[in-house]
Structure 1
Amino acid sequence: MPLSDEIAERLLSSIIDGQYPPGTALPAEGVLADEHAVSRLTVREAVKVLRSQNVVRIQRGRGTYVNAPDQWTALEPMIRAAAGAPAAGAVAEKLIEARQLIEVGAARLAATRRTDGDLAELAETLDEMRAAAEAGDTEQFVQADIAFHEVVMRSSGNAFVPLLFEPFGRLLVEGRRQTSAVPQIRTNAIGHHEAVLEALRSGDPERARIAMDDHMTQTADDLRTHVIDKPA
């Protein structure tokens, strides 16, 4: 990795950690060069990297200012910022919204493109979810839940669909852990996964679309009820 990219990574980490909150200015080029024991040219190149991602902006005659994460244009920095955000519930809610946009369509496609092998794999992961719920094993439940949805997306027959969520791996796991730790949410999830599987077995695209949409809606409702709005 070029030294300028390394410095850009360090600066990004400092921004995500809150050392330089949105709206504040980064230290002057010379100060940053001294802090990181590099040349001013290296710092300049590092700042260019962050500017290309809209993490920072240049205000002529004033300095380099940090933008809010929702203005960033690169996926990796946004994911890192979301993973470190204190409002984890809000991040999980936004992730469910993104999942709903993609997974509902994936289920619709999968209804006519899934194979018998796909259906068998879905049934197997659903059995694993039931066993994990029975044992109170949140981690195993999360892994089985994620595996179920990965099979659905793969069954869409569109190779781009599974790749859309690949960068969100860590956030997906953390979001599932938040909700799957609640027994009632595990029960709700199993019921909705059963409905999705039956809809895919039927081969009816509209039924599959509705089943997945209902599941995503229930997941969002459960998150708000049992996690975000839960009394302290």
Structure 2
Amino acid sequence: MIKQSIDISTLRREYTQRGLRRTDLTLEPMQLFEQWLKEACLAQLPDATAMSLGTVDTNGQPYQRLVLLKYFDHHGIVFYTNLTSRKATHIAYNPRISLHFPWHALERQVLMLGQAEQLSFNDVKKYFRSRPRDSQIGAWVSRQSTPISSRDVLESKFLELKGKFFQDEVPVPSFWGGYRVTIDTLEFWQGGQHRLHDRFLYRWENDGWKIDRLAP
């Protein structure tokens, strides 16, 4: 058994920055998400667009990892990844996923549930062309989630491909792409005093959004 060097049971703080009332809500949840995302960016939170992506494998084992939000609208959100990665394999088996934005400094969280669908090649190509050249080459180097013997393997492959594509446009790898997630459930969490947090749940039902306040 690991002996703790600090007593983490005593670590706590009060959430006092603000509250969330029904009058603060928008009819469309992505409008409120946009407001919160803008505030997270204006507050210069590190990686404000980072979100935890939850998937499940064929054995029912959940996995989480951070990915970056690259686009959103009223219908859903978009992220990009290697199509042979663990997450992509999971999505192929079960496209139902969860997403979580942990904006701790603002005492806020946003949870999203929805279904992922692979983007078209034209959409992927357009975004791929906007990436820095070294990031484009990096997409070729990494066969994401597969075992490698050392970091030297990655760095050597990167230099090799950097030389190969020196005078040419970097092509889009066939194993690299993106997903659009159609969101049907969102929860907005705002920290409150005495652990009386504010939570509002949006659910898409019968061609409209149903809003419920949840107990903390």
Q: Structure 2 length as normaliser, TM-score?
A: 0.22
Q: Structure 1 length as normaliser, TM-score?
A: 0.21
Higher helix share: 1
Higher strand share: 2
